[in-house]
Chains A and B, each alone.
Chain A
Amino acid sequence: MSGSMAFLLWIKGPMFNIALAIFAIGLFARFAEIFLLGRKPNYAEPRAGEWLPGFKTMFTRSIADPGTFQRASFNVVVGWVWHLGFLIALLLFVPHVELMKGLFGIVWPALPNPVVDLITAITLIALVATLVHRLTHPVKQRISTFDDYLVWTVVFLVVLTGYLAYHRLVNPYPIALGMHILMAEIFLIILPFTKLTHIFTAFIARWYNGAAFGRKGVAS
């Protein structure tokens, strides 16, 4: 049986398992790669502990300092907008909440669809803005790699296909939904092997950063 429904069922069935497996294997391989390297012992007399400053920085680094905000306001604002938008759409859209419930058995409240819809539209615009910025800002131009454009494309398509599916702008619907889930699966598959790992490792990096500064008595 071929056709849109078969496509959707394959995407929701075997392909989802494959994606989840690659995601989990890749991500935990990366965790092992990081943590097993360890750190050399530090003999210098500390000014303060590492744990607390480390944990603090895991959160505080999400907020830019006033100077950076001033110098890179576009980066900071647009970055915030699309990260928040993406997270809200991912975690607070009813079908996604149901997905988590189905997968992990945990439920949390969702946002009304029109709210998520608006946020998704804003996220899409913000994502386009980040691409334009990447293509035009001299620093971003210089440091961008294939990886950056690949990740942008996948992230954008995940949101875009979700938006199209929600608005039923692609027919038949199983194709629309299937494309969205497929993009999400590609997102999961490339996550451990691209800069998308920062979703998880940024918190590890921030901890190390906060711990190193904290040890020297600087709140980072």
Chain B
Amino acid sequence: MSELTLERGLAAFRAEIDAPIAAFFSSCVHCGICAQSCPFYLETGDPKYTPILKLEPLRLVWEGEFTLWGRIKRTLGLQQKVTDEMLAEWEELLYDSCSMCGRCSLVCPVGNDLAYMIRKSREGMVQAGHAPEGLIAASVRAIQTGSPMGLQWKTLAVQIKHVEDSTSLTVPVDKTGVDYLVLLSSMEIINFPEYLEAITKIFDHAGVTWTLSTQCFEATNAGIQIGNKDIAAQLVERVVAAAEKLKVPNVISPECGHAYTAIRWEGPNLIGRPYPFRVFHIIEVLDTLRASGRLQTEGMESDRLSLHDPCNLARKSGVIQQQRNLMALVADNFVDLKEHGKFQWCCGAGGGVSSNERAEPLKLAAFKRKKAQIEEVAPERMVTMCATCRTQLEEGMEEFNMNIPVVGLTEMIADHLVEKEARS
């Protein structure tokens, strides 16, 4: 039986190195500004959480094998080697203290895309057997059960029943030839069942044809979080197969950040071919409906609302204006956090941190950056569009006794839809 070894890890590091990585490592001047953009460093004050330092194993492989000087140093025996012990030490740095929020990639003065390199480093970590247990377990469950939380269709079927009962609408399942295949995340199904009800209402209201797939309902991708192509590709293939089977032209990723980047940006590259369909985040779809006048809303939220941009959606996918357009539709008293959009701060739970029980204290520490941002504008409620962010915001604010409820944007839109009868 094969096992995960250092050699496989090093080979994986090697295989991940490309021109951008060579340019990035060639350019780092050790200015330390990346630390000033990292919530894990800023809130712990521990310099070992400096983003560039987290990339040291990958850098050593690059230097030793991909540069003239490194080769000379290796010949002279001066080149430091990546060892199993080193990777064991770096496991905490690459997983527990990095939510892959990509803020460092945006502020690095020499232009290093650090998040890109963290993602690649994790490939080596998995192959070397140095991934956190929580993420391994989630990956295994995702492959074996179709959901990282081990959730099965029958649980979802119960939810569907609830939604149909309370809305008197039908939730379409396994319908071919519709416009959209809707994916969900297990966390949403369990923690925020309102989401399914909301889209059912909105799509009915806007006259959108859509369906769920019994073959694949899960949008999240534990393989992306742990950083392994093989697992990630299998999970993407399931989505692609379901979409192809139902012949849908569009797939909607739910209110989940990493699910969107996984399927929108990484997916085609994981399976090595372009999709026969397009991928949207639910917020993009809603904004398109709004723009074409298919969303008729009434009434406004009058309390002071602010918005948390999920990293994966805003900084890493360019969905920034859409949620603000939708907020303007239903909120009177909206105030943006000071640093928002592409410069927003991570909630602290992304990049697999929330699936990694060991990282709990760090996750809470990193949240303090978000907490300070929220306190600065003092909203009465927070709005967001990612189940992981939402859970983290709720838990974090509860921990600090902040008493600020968090709502999903999709639900909020659904709440303001003009009743069908009234419309006609």
Contact = CB atoms under 8 A, between A and B. Distances in A.
Interface of A: 26, 29-30, 33-45, 47, 57-58, 61-62, 64-65, 67-68, 71-72, 75-76, 79, 137-145, 148, 192-193, 195, 197-198, 201-210, 212-213, 216-220
B18 A148 contact: no
B343 interface: yes
Given A65-B343, A195-B29, A202-B111, A138 B45 contact: yes
Q: B27, B107, B111, B318: which has the most chain A beta carbons within 10 Å?
A: B111
Contacts of A41: 269
B26 A30 contact: yes
A220 B317 CA distance: 12
B110 A205 contact: yes
B22 interface: yes
A140 B111 contact: no
A59 B388 CA distance: 35
Q: B22, B47, B108: which has the most chain A beta carbons within 10 Å?
A: B22
Contacts of A145: 30
Interface stretch (B1-9, B128-136, B193-201, B270-278): B270-278
Contacts of B268: 42-45
B339 interface: yes
Given A62-B109, A144-B30, A206-B111, A201 B343 contact: no
20 contacts: A33-B67, A39-B18, A44-B264, A47-B318, A64-B107, A65-B106, A139-B41, A140-B31, A142-B48, A143-B53, A198-B110, A201-B23, A201-B27, A203-B111, A205-B112, A208-B20, A208-B113, A212-B113, A213-B105, A218-B315
A39 B20 CA distance: 7
B366 to A, nearest CB: 16
A220 B105 CA distance: 9
Contact of A209 (B48, B113, B275, B343): B113
Contact of B47 (A33, A58, A138): A138
Contact of A26 (B29, B48, B68, B106): B68
A206 B53 contact: no
Given A39-B20, A143-B47, A216-B318, A202 B30 contact: no
Interface residues of B, number: 62
A38 B19 contact: yes
A187 to B, nearest CB: 15
Interface in B335-374: 339, 342-343
Given A33-B66, A39-B18, A198-B29, 10 more contacts: A29-B68, A45-B279, A75-B31, A140-B30, A142-B47, A143-B32, A195-B30, A197-B26, A201-B110, A220-B106
A193 B69 contact: yes
| 7 closest cross-chain pairs (CB), A and B | A217-B318, A206-B111, A43-B268, A142-B47, A202-B110, A209-B111, A201-B26
Interface in B84-132: 105-113, 116
Contact of B22 (A33, A143, A212): A33
A140 B32 CA distance: 6
Nearest to B315: A218
B402 interface: no
B70 to A, nearest CB: 9
B300 interface: no
B36 interface: yes
Contacts of A201: 23, 26-27, 110
B186 interface: no
Contacts of A39: 18-20
Contacts of B112: 205, 209
B24 interface: yes
Given A26-B68, A198-B26, A198-B29, A218 B342 contact: yes
Contacts of A198: 26-29, 110
A22 B265 CA distance: 41
Nearest to B26: A201
B265 A37 contact: no
B257 interface: no
Contacts of B45: 138
B53 to A, nearest CB: 5
Given A67-B343, A139-B32, A195-B29, A37 B19 contact: yes
Given A30-B67, A145-B30, A208-B19, A64 B266 contact: no
A42 B269 contact: yes
A33 B32 CA distance: 26
Contacts of B182: none
B37 interface: yes
A147 to B, nearest CB: 8
B35 interface: yes
Nearest to A62: B109
Nearest to A203: B111
Contacts of A202: 27, 109-111
Nearest to B271: A43
B33 interface: yes
A201 B278 CA distance: 35
A219 B342 contact: yes
A34 B26 contact: yes
